[in-house]
Structure 1
Amino acid sequence: MSRYQAALLGLGLLLMLLLYVGLPGPPEQTFQLWRGPSVTVLAGLTRGNPQIFYREVLPIQPAHRAQVLFLHGKAFNSHTWEQLGTLQLLSKRGYRAVAIDLPAPSKEASTEAGRAELLKQVLRDLEVQNAVLVSPSMSGSYALPFLMRSHHQLRGFVPIAPTSTRNFTQEQFWAVKTPTLILYGELDHTLARESLQQLHHLPNHSVVKLHNAGHACYLHNPEAFHLALLEFLDHLP
């Protein structure tokens, strides 16, 4: 190989190296992963029929009375709350927290009464006491029927732009005295606005708008979501 050819080969290798270094890295996570102290996340199935998969954390600090039950939106499941670090954060702050996988459509869950009964069964099977129910998006079809029938079982309610608010009257909302934190993303211009019109009729509520966040506002701005949630939990009567 001539010196000229060797020089060309070296130049080519150098260009390839520069191109490789300049390539973009892997895409960023769509939501923040937990990077705090190690927290054990337990998992299991409820005893009822249907059996419901759940994830659970126990309080690391001295326990608060309230225990938090997380539902999920259509595109998510209980793992979302673990990946986001919500379960681990609550454990660190002294809360027992449980996240469940809502079941696939079934005859039992086809009615409001059936969906309310399912949540009642979950709370009973997992012995969740002084429950605070966190309900984003589609899970409103479970949470709101339960709220209307069994709000006396709840210590608090955290709706996040839930569905199904139009299925209930102003009078039904007025009758619910449960402390409520209404959360929504400022960029959610459809379901958040619709649900807010009805949820405003809850007599004991506060509202937090998460900035730079859409419908799944807890994913888009997890820090603000966690701050608002903890502020609400820490000041429950």
Structure 2
Amino acid sequence: MVSLSGIDVKFGRIIGAIVLITALIVLYRRYGTGGGQPAIKPESPVITESKPQSDSKFDEVEVTVKEKKCTVTYIRVKPETPDSAKPKVLLLHGKNFNAEIWQEIGTLDKLKESGYEAIAVNLGYREEDQALNEKLKECTGDNEARAEFIHQLVQGLELGKFVLISPSKSGEFSIPYIMKAEYNKELKAFVSIAPSIDVKYTEEDFAKLEDVHILIVSGETDSFGEKSGVYLSKIPNKQQSSIPDAGHVCYKEKPEVWHEKLLTYLGTLFVHQYFLLNCKVHESSEAILSTCERLNMGGNASPGEVTVLDLPVKNVQVSIGSKTCSLTYLEVVPDALTDSKPQLLLLHGARFHASTWNENCGTLAKLKEWGYRAVALDLKPEAPISECTGDENGARAQLIQQIVESLRLTRLVLVSPSKSGEFAIPYIMEPSYREKMAAYIPVAPVIDRTSYSSDAFSKLEGLKALVVQGENDHTIGDASQRVLMKLPSSPQLCVIPKAGHPCYLDNPDFWHEQLKKFLDSL
């Protein structure tokens, strides 16, 4: 006789085993990476899946990884006027999307409009793309293969030195890639958006990536992004940026904020490479340097003759904490100085000196002629100044304030081109300094976006500003303008025609015309 109770027990065990196996298969398909389990994974945020646009067109490229061939589909956009100094941008995508997500939210268009060639590739994560996913898995079964896959893709698409953008699940490709020293040399920069990170990689591994430049982006409410940021923040050359009121797919939830952060980073990151790419000069020759900088940054105007004054070099000492440093400056005082007119403090860019305002463009002579007192401060040599200020924004602001007080500059107008933004921006952010200013004239200044958000500028009530940039300065000029035009007191925008980054040198006549008009209005 057969025991029914025994059958029931066995039958129950069989059913239980089937349920367990089914659950394991589902989990594997959902989270399996083939190269070790992720240390951190998204907590399954609710995502509205992107709908493919009917007008998108996919191209194909074949790559070979470990003697296995696979076909990759992608969308490619190119600017109407290519700029060889700007890197190409490769965009991966997250689990619930495909390459079309970057088209849907406008990222590809924004990059194209800003002069960047961009390529968005399909990784086959969506259910309807499982056929593609299976083919890619044959090529990319582990971390090493996935790193090689990106490398071969870079070669096949002829990207050169490129920018890699990687959100969420695509971290299973991007993180192994940046970890390979022979591959990450291909990178100009890495833009991470809360990527998944394999448990095999430690914080120490990320700390060794000295040659990788990274922008770490995450949504303010994304706990997964916060966890991945713990690892990524160990990379030495980093900038971190949070998108307010956004979750795991922050770039889709707040595309305008995402685009501003991305384009600002790209613009500020490559300004120095822009110089080096096209110009080989002798560091000792200021004349060659100034000409070189004009050519490199897009200027094509021919500066006319300038009036050069015979000015003595003066000294001023400042003390910050226990540190004291001595700075030099040039000064012009008109024959008839009146209290009603503001007084100017002119800073300078990375490759220039205080003398640039006298010898290269004649601005000091013009200011004296118009009846304005002006001081051109020399921020070189950098070493002793750095000993006073370090990398502290507050100390840099304090240095400028001590100069203002020591030289008794009243109704201050601060003129700040390019790299001198490191001093000027912290200065205008301090309310007690800002309230005594007559105006601020930024000329495509460097802005520390890790310390100062767009919202910070939108709160600077009462600060009058003339925002200046060259017509052809599409790197740092465009990036800084997007931020500075958020100043609340109706800033005036001055775009100098036929000029690049040092626009006041490229077209000094137009610069002086606009400068005088603005000063006379104060």
Asked whether the 8 Å contact 1:165–1:195 carries over to 2, the reply is no
Specify the SS of the correspondent of 1:52. strand
Residue aligning to 2:446 = 163
Q: CA deviation at 1:164?
A: 1.4
Deviates more, 1:138-147 or 1:102-111: 102-111
The answer on 1:69 being equivalent to 2:350 is: no
Which whole-Å CA distance do the structure 1 matches of 2:336 and 2:312 have between them? 17
Residue aligning to 1:50 = 325
Residue aligning to 2:434 = 151
Which whole-Å CA distance do the structure 1 matches of 2:326 and 2:515 have between them? 28
Residue aligning to 1:17 = none
The answer on 1:87 being equivalent to 2:357 is: no
Residue aligning to 2:376 = 99
The amino acid that maps onto 2:365 is Q
Asked whether the 8 Å contact 1:43–1:54 carries over to 2, the reply is yes
**Per-residue CA shift, 1:34-79, capped at 9, x if unaligned?**
338xx56343101323111000000134534200000000000100
Deviates more, 1:227-236 or 1:96-105: 96-105
Which whole-Å CA distance do the structure 2 matches of 1:222 and 1:142 have between them? 24
Give % identity: 34
- Extract unaligned runs of 5+ from structure 2: 1-287, 292-302, 319-323
Residue aligning to 2:478 = 193
TM-score where L is the length of structure 2: 0.38
Residue aligning to 2:416 = 135
Residue aligning to 2:517 = 231
Which whole-Å CA distance do the structure 2 matches of 1:91 and 1:43 have between them? 17
Which whole-Å CA distance do the structure 1 matches of 2:500 and 2:317 have between them? 36
Specify the SS of the correspondent of 2:413. strand
Q: CA deviation at 1:165?
A: 5.0
Deviates more, 1:129-138 or 1:59-68: 59-68
Residue aligning to 1:125 = 406
Asked whether the 8 Å contact 2:337–2:373 carries over to 1, the reply is no
Deviates more, 1:99-108 or 1:77-86: 99-108
Deviates more, 1:85-94 or 1:105-114: 105-114
Match of 1:41 among 286, 311, 314: 311
The amino acid that maps onto 1:101 is D
The amino acid that maps onto 2:511 is F
Residue aligning to 1:21 = none
Residue aligning to 1:214 = 500
The amino acid that maps onto 1:88 is A
Asked whether the 8 Å contact 1:68–1:96 carries over to 2, the reply is yes
Match of 2:469 among 171, 174, 184: 184
Asked whether the 8 Å contact 2:325–2:388 carries over to 1, the reply is no
Which whole-Å CA distance do the structure 2 matches of 1:62 and 1:154 have between them? 18
Specify the SS of the correspondent of 1:82. helix
The amino acid that maps onto 1:47 is Q
Which whole-Å CA distance do the structure 2 matches of 1:32 and 1:122 have between them? 32
Once superposed, which parts of structure 1, at least 4 consecutive aligned residues long, lie more than 3 Å away? 29-33
Asked whether the 8 Å contact 1:60–1:93 carries over to 2, the reply is no
**Per-residue CA shift, 1:76-129, capped at 9, x if unaligned?**
010000112111111111100000111414233221011101101111111111
Which whole-Å CA distance do the structure 2 matches of 1:42 and 1:154 have between them? 27
Which whole-Å CA distance do the structure 1 matches of 2:453 and 2:312 have between them? 39
Residue aligning to 1:18 = none
Specify the SS of the correspondent of 1:207. strand
Asked whether the 8 Å contact 2:416–2:445 carries over to 1, the reply is yes
Specify the SS of the correspondent of 2:355. helix
Q: CA deviation at 1:200?
A: 1.1
TM-score where L is the length of structure 1: 0.82
Match of 2:393 among 92, 112, 117: 112
Q: Which has the higher contact order (CA 8 A, sep 6+)?
A: 1
Q: CA deviation at 1:171?
A: 2.8
Instruction: Give the direction of change, closer, same or farther, for the CA distance of 1:164–1:143 in structure 2 (3 Å limit).
Output: same
Asked whether the 8 Å contact 2:344–2:415 carries over to 1, the reply is yes
Instruction: Give the direction of change, closer, same or farther, for the CA distance of 1:32–1:75 in structure 2 (3 Å limit).
Output: farther
Residue aligning to 2:61 = none
Instruction: Give the direction of change, closer, same or farther, for the CA distance of 1:40–1:57 in structure 2 (3 Å limit).
Output: farther
Larger radius of gyration: 2
The amino acid that maps onto 1:198 is V
Match of 1:60 among 335, 344, 366: 335
Which whole-Å CA distance do the structure 1 matches of 2:470 and 2:408 have between them? 32
Asked whether the 8 Å contact 1:32–1:219 carries over to 2, the reply is no
Residue aligning to 1:23 = none
Residue aligning to 1:3 = none
